[in-house]
Structure 1
Amino acid sequence: MTATLVIAGHGMIGHRLAERLRTLDTARDWHIVICAEEPHPAYDRMALSGYLTGRSRADLTLTGRDFHADPRIELLLAQPIVRADRTTRTVHTSGGHRIRYDALVLATGSRPFVPPVPGRDLTHCFVYRTFEDLDAIRRTARPGSRGIVVGGGLLGLEAAHALSRLGTRTHVVETAPHLMPAQLDPAAAEVLQAQAHAHGLRLHCGTAVTQVHARPDGSVGAVTLGNGTTLEADLVVFAAGIRPRDELAGLLGLARGERGGFLVDSYCRTADPRVWAIGECAAVQGRCHGLVAPGYAMAESVAAQLVGRDADPFSRTDDATALKLLGVHVATFGTTNHPQDPRGTVEVTFSEGTARYAKIFLQPDTGTLLGGILAGDTRSRSRLTSLVGHPPPADLEELLLP
């Protein structure tokens, strides 16, 4: 008899689970019901800036005709789960659907974090998350207008680059002393910041927006920073991080991680054997992962479990990134955030001013490669990734800075 899987959320991770299960479920044992919050099928959120600068929604959509035509798939758009009962194994959507499940996978993703500053709800204050958010930004941004991006991490720099391409005079405000503090050290960030200045971005690091001021019509007119600076503004984009969407934990009586997210084990299982959580909303052994690659690994594991295959536990310690921002390639590989270890780590750096920079981390007793940071030239990343856990080659400097 066919069993019912309910997937709460149809972002990139929820869609990966559905696609993987379609492939693995050769016996066609599962009927998949997807309860999506947005009115669109899953799309490539990693490429969302392209939508702001010319790509269409269809260009970014992840679903194809075969997905929509598959009789095993039931996609409920703009119908998030609003009620749930683990005793009866039922969920209710905002559109009135009542669905009984045999397995429930929570893939609700995350929501943008908006700092609690006065004025954050004014007209022309935005977040950077959905098609609708970017439509609103595009209607407001004009060549010569003044934009403030709150957040100098990955998402904030994506937003700043997109605004600058729309002709906006853009300021980036980051509370840390330098850009991308979660991925880069100060020297690597200096390479990125030099190029950001060259692209016309105005950077304000080591401070925060403390107030957004209104014009007489109620729209954004200026912001004040913690260092006392006041900047005129026509729009503000909050891109200061994300928080897991774990509201269903209360409805389902499930535990949360210390910093939020559905608490799950290394197989993404909650305390209920019929309920899993994957992606940004999952606190795997207490830790949430905000990148897409860990979420895909979680989806692969759960899909295997649902068809009775041996599944690998999720044990990701490598939050590697590789991207091009403002014309500069930056990347990390292996492990770059090292816990307290009495042995410490050996750090080796190579630099060419603000043009190129590389740092690698070595284990002190064995000399094996643990990870590293690259800025300005990342061509060697794939080979370096393959060397993690092994001694680096003799031609290391040539490899890092070809």
Structure 2
Amino acid sequence: MTTRTLVVIGHGMTGHRLVEELRSRDPDGTWRVVVLGEERHPAYDRVRLSSALDDKTPAELSLVKPALLEDALVELHTSTRAVGIDRAQRTVALEDGGSIPYDALVLATGSVPFVPPVPGRELPGVCVYRTLDDLDAIRGAAGRTTTGVVIGGGLLGLEAANGLRLLGLSPHVVEMAPRLMPVQVDEGGGRVLDRLVTGLGVTTHLGVATSRIEAGEDGRVARLVFADGTAIETGLVVFSAGVRPQDSLAGPAELPRGERGGFLVDDHCRTEDPHVWAIGECAAVEGRCYGLVAPGYRMAEAVVSQLLGQGPSRFPGADMSTKLKLMGVDVASFGDAHAQTPGALEFVRESAGGEVYAKLVLDSQGDSLLGGILAGDAAAYPRLRSLLGRELPDSAEALLASV
């Protein structure tokens, strides 16, 4: 039996899941795996990144088990950057001048932070929030200030704000949309979320635009200035305004990208090259990128099935429902949360104190649950999600009363 070589570019959560899945399902050792990780840390739990600013060490967040490091069929390289792909020769070019041959190649390069073109974004004290190394930079800047500003009020932005709280700073969150987490929640949910987050010591600035970041006499960040001329005095600005697929290898490899970026792949996560796949946030599956880790895991499993000739080998799409706990605040959204289905009906309940918000979205007949949003209390999420697309066992009012 000839052992073939699989090269995986990227050692984040999705790339690591693929390696684990392949080794657990390939007892005969038909594949040798070479993993190229650009970060100096092996794969770690990025979902719990802010905990590394509190009491968790990088080792405690690591996803790599000792057995994998001792596996003779796994070769892991950290601090290693791939700069090119020769599809004709089936080799990956490395930044240090070396190259690695492959029989199959999986791109699991993830995503990179989006930094808007705000003047002053290059100043010392301006950071992004994505990796453990980013946290080191944030921790260093935090030691020089008492106030930190996060640009971006989405999921990652609130996680970053929580990280600043854990460092003892007074965090501010700046969001261009009129509410926090605009992708997941509606106006009502955003209002409750804002009230709860503000109660935890976070100052929010919603529906505003950043004009520039200014330096002090020491050349470091001193203030953030809004479009209306008002400003926040701060020594730390963290950009957490979303991510973009890390698809820089597409050009050199002449691989097509999706309309909004990402390596364009079919529903088997395969590029136009039969020897090259892409999974996770860098993959545009039939043109769509998925920003959650669960779909990335499903993609990894589908590709392993193809490599081993096992089924099922197709990525079936993904449920984008989310349930989160941010700073102790529960938030959940599922199905057609924003009632985009024609004729959809919305039923809303908000507690008198404004600490709990619940919305159910039903079909035009009021018989079937299409989606919903929960903020402040998401205990009902498992039951409600299980009812998606099914006839309701009770009235919407009765279901809301149980939230």
Offset at residue 230 of structure 1 (A): 1.2
Cα distance in 1 for residues equivalent to 2:365 and 2:103: 50
2:355 is aligned to: 355
Cα distance in 2 for residues equivalent to 1:94 and 1:21: 27
Cα distance in 1 for residues equivalent to 2:215 and 2:157: 23
Q: Please show how residues 6-21 of structure 1 align to structure 2 within 5 Å.
A: 6-21=7-22
Contact 1:319 1:335 in 2 (8 A): no
Contact 1:177 1:205 in 2 (8 A): yes
Offset at residue 317 of structure 1 (A): 5.0
Relative to 1, partners in 2 of residues 1:366 and 1:273: Cα closer, same or farther, differing over 3 Å? farther
1:362-393 per-residue CA deviation (whole Å, 9 max, x = no partner) reads: 22258322221111111111111211120122
2:244 is aligned to: 243
Contact 1:195 1:328 in 2 (8 A): yes
Offset at residue 94 of structure 1 (A): 2.1
Cα distance in 2 for residues equivalent to 1:293 and 1:379: 21
1:250-290 per-residue CA deviation (whole Å, 9 max, x = no partner) reads: 11110001110001111111111111101110111111111
1:59 is aligned to: 60
**Corresponding residue SS for 1:331:** strand
**Corresponding residue SS for 1:276:** strand
Contact 2:9 2:106 in 1 (8 A): yes
Q: Please show how residues 279-294 of structure 1 align to structure 2 within 5 Å.
A: 279-294=280-295
**Corresponding residue SS for 2:192:** helix
1:346 is aligned to: 345
Cα distance in 1 for residues equivalent to 2:113 and 2:18: 23
Offset at residue 57 of structure 1 (A): 0.7
**Corresponding residue SS for 1:190:** helix
2:321 is aligned to: 320
Cα distance in 2 for residues equivalent to 1:84 and 1:371: 43
Contact 1:170 1:202 in 2 (8 A): yes
The range that moved more, 87-96 or 282-291, is 87-96
Matched, 1:388 2:383: no
Q: Please show how residues 116-127 of structure 1 align to structure 2 within 5 Å.
A: 116-127=117-128
1:157 is aligned to: 158
Between Structure 1 and Structure 2, how many residues are aligned?
A: 400
Contact 1:318 1:335 in 2 (8 A): no
2:195 is aligned to: 194
Cα distance in 1 for residues equivalent to 2:317 and 2:327: 29
Relative to 1, partners in 2 of residues 1:232 and 1:58: Cα closer, same or farther, differing over 3 Å? same
1:100-129 per-residue CA deviation (whole Å, 9 max, x = no partner) reads: 111111000000011101000000000011
Contact 1:143 1:166 in 2 (8 A): no
Question: Normalising to structure 2: TM-score of the pair?
Answer: 0.95
Offset at residue 98 of structure 1 (A): 1.9
Cα distance in 2 for residues equivalent to 1:170 and 1:160: 6
Gaps of 5+ in 1: none
**Corresponding residue SS for 1:140:** helix
Offset at residue 228 of structure 1 (A): 2.5
The range that moved more, 196-205 or 328-337, is 328-337
**Corresponding residue SS for 2:332:** strand
2:29 is aligned to: 28
**Corresponding residue SS for 1:27:** coil
Offset at residue 397 of structure 1 (A): 4.4
**Corresponding residue SS for 2:346:** strand
Letter of the structure 2 residue corresponding to residue 377 of structure 1: D
2:78 is aligned to: 77
Offset at residue 335 of structure 1 (A): 3.4
Cα distance in 2 for residues equivalent to 1:297 and 1:373: 25
1:166 is aligned to: 167
Offset at residue 344 of structure 1 (A): 2.9
**Corresponding residue SS for 1:254:** coil
2:235 is aligned to: 234
**Corresponding residue SS for 2:116:** coil
Cα distance in 2 for residues equivalent to 1:386 and 1:179: 26
Cα distance in 2 for residues equivalent to 1:209 and 1:46: 27
Letter of the structure 1 residue corresponding to residue 170 of structure 2: R
**Corresponding residue SS for 1:329:** strand
Cα distance in 1 for residues equivalent to 2:90 and 2:41: 26
Contact 2:360 2:396 in 1 (8 A): no
Offset at residue 206 of structure 1 (A): 0.4
The share of aligned pairs that are identical, in percent, is 51
Offset at residue 182 of structure 1 (A): 0.6
